[in-house]
Amino acid sequence: MNAAGDVAPRSCRPTSIGEAAGRGGAASGAAAPVALVVDAATKVYGAGADRVLALEGCGFEVRAREIVSIVGPSGCGKTTLLWSMAGLHHLTSGAIRLDGAVIDGPHPAIGIVFQEANLLPWRTLDANIRFPDEIKRRRSDEGLIENLLRQVGLAGYGPRFPRELSGGMQQRVAIVRALAQRPSLLLMDEPFGALDAFTREEMNRLVERIWLDTHTTIVLVTHSIDEAILLSDRVIVLSPRPGRVARIFDVPLPRPRTPEIMAGRAVFELASAIRSEIVGARTSLAAEGAVGSPKGEG
């Protein structure tokens, strides 16, 4: 039984990413250093009458080796926030810092998994996984890729094309693509929203397994409260637009979070609390997928 922080991270971090190496041996648990700081993030789209305030003064911290979920009503700026962390959006004001450095563009230590698998259909899985290395004009770590493919159960699938794979398999390839870059921060943008409930559950277990292996810091945007509880150390609830932190829930459950744990009373109560925090903010949420069964899917 591995509690969130008390497993010393294996040396899976790249030596090329200096700050990650420095963090690797740091203290465990709640004392882990802050990796990511979201500082009064504000994002305005458009101007004049079309002006939309997506985020306003949104702020929180993510510690190293933590899994943090961001949930909230539809349109609350979750994805905007995540894309800003990836350096894909520029904040109107405020800042996001990774290990002290302001993110103002794509960052080599950040990996991202998108909604749906977002594989390039004209490339084989191998070529898809190597795509980031190709962009960065460097050699891929063949051993790591092979390992990751085996870990997600897709060893030997390299020469296939995405269309030959199911949605869940495609998303596993997308995760391998992100992890093959040895990110110190993995961002996941509603990664399993398009999958059926069983595949989703399976993918959640996979992410947990990978995290137990690598202890990569993960920020996950999701619509599913169950998913958030299964995976996260903390769940951040954003308010309706403009998005700001409504409340942060700790998830003090041991890992791995077995189906028994997920069926327990603590999870039920936590899920209810999170749900009422979101629904209380906006009752129209009933139409959203976030209001699912009260229990874990397992």
**Residue 83 binds other proteins (CB under 8 A):** yes
Q: At 236, is the secondary structure helix, strand, or coil?
A: strand
**Residue 120 binds other proteins (CB under 8 A):** yes
Q: Which stretch binds other proteins (CB under 8 A): 156-164, 240-248, 255-263, 275-283?
A: 156-164
Q: What's the CA gap between 237 and 249, in Å, rounded?
A: 8
**Residue 104 binds other proteins (CB under 8 A):** no
Q: What's the CA gap between 128 and 154, in Å, rounded?
A: 14
Give least dist CB 137 to other proteins, A: 9
Q: Which residues contact 142 (CB under 8 A, 6 or more apart)?
A: none
Give least dist CB 79 to other proteins, A: 11
Give least dist CB 118 to other proteins, A: 5
**Residue 139 binds other proteins (CB under 8 A):** no
- Check if the beta carbon of residue 133 is closer than 8 Å to that of residue 139: yes
- Other C-beta atoms closer than 10 Å to the C-beta of 195 total 19
**Residue 170 binds other proteins (CB under 8 A):** yes
**Residue 286 binds other proteins (CB under 8 A):** no
**Residue 202 binds other proteins (CB under 8 A):** no
Applying CB under 8 A, among 1, 122, 156, 286 the residue interacting with other proteins is: 122
Applying CB under 8 A, among 104, 142, 146, 164 the residue interacting with other proteins is: 164
Applying CB under 8 A, among 10, 90, 136, 295 the residue interacting with other proteins is: 136
- Check if the beta carbon of residue 54 is closer than 8 Å to that of residue 243: yes
- Other C-beta atoms closer than 10 Å to the C-beta of 215 total 24
Q: Which residues contact 185 (CB under 8 A, 6 or more apart)?
A: 35, 36, 62, 85, 98, 109, 110, 111, 216, 217, 218, 219
Residues in contact with other proteins by the rule CB under 8 A: 83, 86-88, 105-106, 108, 110, 112, 114-118, 120-122, 131-132, 134-136, 161-170, 181, 194-196, 199
